[in-house]
Chain A
Amino acid sequence: MKRFDNIFIRRIKEALSDYNVDHLADEGWNNFIRKKKKRAGIIIPLWAKAASVAVLLTTAGIITYKSFLSIGNPDGRPTATAVKQETYDEVANDTIMVEKETTPKDIIVAADIIERQPVLTVKSSTGQYIVKETVANHYTAIRKIPVSLSDLNLGINIKGYLDEKVWHYADFSPAMIDYEVPEKGKDRTNLLAGLSGMMAQVDNSVSANPATSLGIYLERSISERISFRPGIAITMQGYDLNNGVLKENDVFAAPVVNGASGSLDSYEAQLNLLALEIPVNIVFKVWERHKSMVFVSTGASTMVYLNQKFNGSFINAYTRQSYNDLTGITTYETNYSEVDVENNYGAFSHVDFFGLANFSAGYSIPFGKSNRLLIEPFIKLPISDLTSLDLRVFYGGMSLKLRFLE
């Protein structure tokens, strides 16, 4: 049977080698276009992708933040209530050697350690309190006497909270904690979530579609007035690209046709994109009163493009010059061709490292029991050309951020 098989296989190859169904190509192409449109129709819309990514980012941020807090608490310190109880038991038998004339026998921890962070007060049996140096310095009117942490002998559990060596034996009452406490201790980190709306300007043309951005940020205090604020945000934008905006016009121009060179006459195009913005900003506190604060911020953002959908219609002009020997007249004939362009640049196809410079000024007010609302107008200027189309994009907008667990 091998002979049959060999001949049979050869015949199959022969029969298909000159198979010609070009007459079906149009039908096939039409089916293909229909299928392509149908497939494009069921693509998850940008907003849904953005929402999903935002949910994931928020979840990841909260988990990171929580793990960050637990790293800052390596001894697995108990909760505020537990600390209060244990500290009481441990400290109650000790004597605070603050001043020789006072020998308190009964000491209690008066502050609500977690909620009132970083204000921690210790009350002695004489009715006086011991407070951190920063707290004592803030309340200039109170009488205070410096005391070393080693002299307090408060016990290991509470010592975890005592990041300052010098405390003050002071005329201070826990009721005063209701007043603003200016201490922004070192190594403090807050989680922020933000929503931004902005307008984009490409070249001289302001885009009709507002862009939106949703992000999470970590704000870490470097000093009393300066904080470092990295973050990650998902942003959706759409630009109308008018004539002259694209730098690489020639990529869409048709090549020479019948000896006539083509040049781009005009175009209408649009770029819709979904990007991950990774800002790294420094925040400077410029003014503070009671619980409100004014700040300015500057930094740079890296843009990672998750999706860039470009479509446009390009009109190319072809001019043919002909010279009539008899009449000596040169004539020009111009024809136009229209090219539809649709291009999807895939995820991570382009990254602009520190492509945007960020500038903002903001106002911070208390929001709820322990949060803060930041109202922050901003501008973003291009440091380099952005997107796969190398655009110079300027942004201006407003950001609302919520800072948790103040």
Chain B
Amino acid sequence: MGKRRSNVHERPDLELITGSLKGILYFQEALYKRYFSYAMSVAIRYAVNRSEAIEIVNDSFMKVLEKLGTYDNSKPFKPWYVKIIVNTAIDSYRKKIKKDENLLNIDTDYDEKGKEPEIETELTVNDILNLFSNMPDIYKLTFNLYEIEGYNHKEIGSILGISESTSRSNLTRAKKLLRKLYVKYINSSETNNEAV
């Protein structure tokens, strides 16, 4: 007997969430796929490449299924999911620094000379990935948490186990490095658009 799944993608979020909570696989699949691109757009900012982003999304979705019972369905699903993705990315970073503690302390200073670069063209996802993949994880994480997710330095310090001033300094360095990388990879004749 064939599996009738054709209409599952048309069902509202709440129905997919309820079905997933009951363990029905094709509801889980539909929920996963409905938010896949969105989840990837969050995860890719924390990842080195697409494979790592998919890993973060998959780990996050595993947590989503585990914690779905605690989800308050009077609130939108997306922000709840994003919070889980960001936390998973932070966990993934923590695992990395456990393996290599040097990742936490990066003393490299990025000199900035010359004028402020111009941003005229639109950035593509590949551009962003290219820039982020050339940044130390701690800078990438601080930049994303502060500038995109809206955390403050106190919160970032507590999440990453660093002081508030270190978080500030990491953000400054991250921005400096991004400008440098932008000039190097995007706003130059030798733009390297490595497909990701």
For residue A340, which residues in chain B have a CB less than 8 angstroms away from its CB?
24-26
How many inter-chain residue pairs (CB < 8 Å) link A and B?
Answer: 127
For residue B93, which residues in chain A have a CB less than 8 angstroms away from its CB?
none
Alpha-carbon distance A39/B1, docked complex (angstroms):
29
Give A200 Cβ to nearest chain B Cβ, in Å: 22
- In the complex, whether A22 has a CB less than 8 A from a CB of chain B is yes
Q: Mark B8-42, 1 if CB is under 8 A from A, else 0.
A: 00000001000000111110010011001110111
> Does the CB pair B123–A4 fall under 8 Å?
no
Give A24 Cβ to nearest chain B Cβ, in Å: 7
For residue B119, which residues in chain A have a CB less than 8 angstroms away from its CB?
4, 7-8, 11
Q: Which of A15, A36, A315, A341 contacts B22 (CB 8 A)?
A: A341
- In the complex, whether A29 has a CB less than 8 A from a CB of chain B is yes
Q: Which of B23, B59, B117 contacts A4 (CB 8 A)?
A: B117
For residue A3, which residues in chain B have a CB less than 8 angstroms away from its CB?
116
Alpha-carbon distance A5/B26, docked complex (angstroms):
43
> Does the CB pair B36–A31 fall under 8 Å?
no
Give B81 Cβ to nearest chain A Cβ, in Å: 14
- In the complex, whether A323 has a CB less than 8 A from a CB of chain B is no
- In the complex, whether A175 has a CB less than 8 A from a CB of chain B is no
Which of A68-76, A222-230, A251-259, A371-379 faces chain B?
Answer: A251-259
Chain A residue with Cβ nearest B57 = A28
- In the complex, whether B148 has a CB less than 8 A from a CB of chain A is yes
Which of A100-108, A281-289, A331-339 faces chain B?
Answer: A331-339
A36-B116 contact in complex given A15-B123, A15-B128, C-beta closer than 8 Å = no
Alpha-carbon distance A251/B18, docked complex (angstroms):
10
**Could you tell me how many residues of chain B have their Cβ less than 8 Å away from some Cβ of chain A?**
48
Alpha-carbon distance A252/B148, docked complex (angstroms):
41
Q: Mark A5-43, 1 if CB is under 8 A from B, else 0.
A: 101110111111101111011111101100110010000
Give A50 Cβ to nearest chain B Cβ, in Å: 22
A32-B4 contact in complex given A11-B122, A251-B22, C-beta closer than 8 Å = no
Chain B residue with Cβ nearest A251 = B22
SS class, residues of chain A in contact with chain B: helix
Give A112 Cβ to nearest chain B Cβ, in Å: 59
A16-B116 contact in complex given A11-B123, A21-B36, A339-B26, C-beta closer than 8 Å = no
Scan residues 340-371 of chain A and give those whose CB is less than 8 A from a CB of chain B. 340-344, 346
- In the complex, whether B2 has a CB less than 8 A from a CB of chain A is yes
> Does the CB pair B2–A337 fall under 8 Å?
yes
For residue A27, which residues in chain B have a CB less than 8 angstroms away from its CB?
54
> Does the CB pair A342–B25 fall under 8 Å?
yes
- In the complex, whether B45 has a CB less than 8 A from a CB of chain A is yes
Sample of 20 A–B contacts (CB below 8 Å): A4-B179, A5-B175, A11-B122, A14-B123, A16-B45, A21-B36, A22-B36, A22-B37, A27-B54, A28-B40, A28-B57, A28-B58, A29-B33, A32-B61, A35-B59, A252-B24, A257-B7, A337-B1, A337-B3, A341-B23
Beyond contacts A4-B179, A337-B3, A342-B25: 15 other A-B pairs, Cβ-Cβ < 8 A, are A1-B179, A4-B118, A9-B148, A13-B148, A15-B128, A16-B125, A19-B37, A21-B50, A25-B33, A28-B36, A29-B36, A35-B62, A251-B22, A252-B24, A337-B2
Binding site for A on B (CB under 8 A): 1-4, 7, 15, 22-26, 29, 32-33, 36-38, 40-42, 44-45, 50, 54-55, 57-59, 61-62, 69, 112, 116-119, 122-125, 127-128, 147-148, 175, 178-179, 182
